[in-house]
Amino acid sequence: MNIVSIDLPWKEDTEGRRTLAIADPDGNIEIALAADDNGLLELVRNTARPGTIVLLDIPIDGCDKLNGAHFRAIDTAISHQAFPALPASRAGNRGRHLRARLQNAINGLAVYEIYPYVAYKFLAYLKNRQSLRHLATGRFDALLDDSFLKFWPPKYKRETEKPKRVENMQYLYSLLTDSSLGLKFSPPLQRPRDSLTSVGLNTLCDQYDACLGAIVGIYFIRGSSYACLAGDSNSGSMLLLADRWLSEHLGREVEVSNSQV
């Protein structure tokens, strides 16, 4: 059983920038790169084991039912919890078609939509509160509160000043390597450096996004109550990290599937 978290472009004809974080339930993670969707498919095929889940950072379901709108119900729901939502309309049917290709190639493969920024903000808030360790407990607590709505972690993608961007990426690196999460990277996760070009920093951001998705998958595979599926297969759903507070808030707008909610 393993997890394959994929950061990918929303346009199929975009070359490169397909980054896979391949993980197992024990938190071991390795990074792999693919030049195009065919290469991505081959990597997943070579990696898949019984029970493998694939996580795609792209809208999958519900895009064909927008009828001229730009956001699905799940997009609106997360935006109300202070997660910036991207217009699902931009993705078209790419996510659905890629899922079909993966599942046609690999029998029994489960594919879920993720949004790495949701995991980033959730984990960053807990780190700020020194509460990351609570994710490993068997309890399902309210770790967030209303102050979460005004909390913004450092921008690691859209910061225009390079020194500040490197600093913010160092913050994300420290989050991913925090001992409370217990992740083990082989080879070691690359640190952001001032010497990296913009292209190099973008590539590293892709790796970090894939790792954030892998964390969600790890907790889901472990059966943690902090991993939940919000939304539905008809209008769109996302696999997220959420505590009791966030699950209840999301549940007021969309269906939330969680073992203790």
**Which region among 43-47, 58-62, 157-161 has the lowest average model confidence (pLDDT)?**
157-161
Burial class (CB in 10 A: 0-12, 13-18, 19+), 25: middle
Which residue type sits at 234? Answer: N
Strand partners, 113: 56
Q: Is residue 15's pLDDT more than 80?
A: no
Residues 93-140 have pLDDT tens digits of 999 999 999 999 999 999 999 999 999 999 999 999 999 999 998 899
- Half-sphere exposure (Cβ direction) of 30: Cα atoms closer than 13 Å: 6
SS3 for 114?
coil
The alpha carbon of 60 is separated from its chain's Cα centroid by a whole number of angstroms, namely: 13
- Half-sphere exposure (Cβ direction) of 59: Cα atoms closer than 13 Å: 26
- Measured CA to CA, the distance from residue 22 to residue 219 in angstroms comes to 14
Q: Are strands 256-257 and 227-232 parallel, antiparallel or unpaired?
A: antiparallel
85, 69 contact by CB (below 8 A): no
What does the domain layout of the chain look like in residue ranges?
3-257
pLDDT of res. 17: 86
Give the residue among 242, 245, 243, 227 at the shortest CA–CA distance from 145.
Answer: 245
Strand partners, 236: 232
Mean pLDDT of the chain: 95
Residue whose structure tokens are 């699950």: 247
Mean pLDDT score, 162-177: 97
Give the residue among 251, 182, 194 at the shortest CA–CA distance from 27.
Answer: 182
235, 112 contact by CB (below 8 A): no
pLDDT of res. 64: 92
- Measured CA to CA, the distance from residue 83 to residue 120 in angstroms comes to 10
Burial class (CB in 10 A: 0-12, 13-18, 19+), 236: buried
**Which region among 78-92, 107-121, 125-139, 247-261 has the lowest average model confidence (pLDDT)?**
247-261
Residues 19-59 have pLDDT tens digits of 999 999 999 999 999 999 999 999 999 999 999 999 999 99
What distances in angstroms separate CA 50 from CA 8, 38, 40, 47, one per listed residue?
A: 24, 21, 19, 10
SS3 for 213?
helix
Residue 33's contacts (CB-CB under 8 Å, 6 or more residues apart) are 16, 18, 19, 20
Number of continuous H segments (helices) and E segments (strands) in the chain? 7, 9
> Cα-flanking dihedrals φ and ψ of residue 115, to 5°?
-140, 95
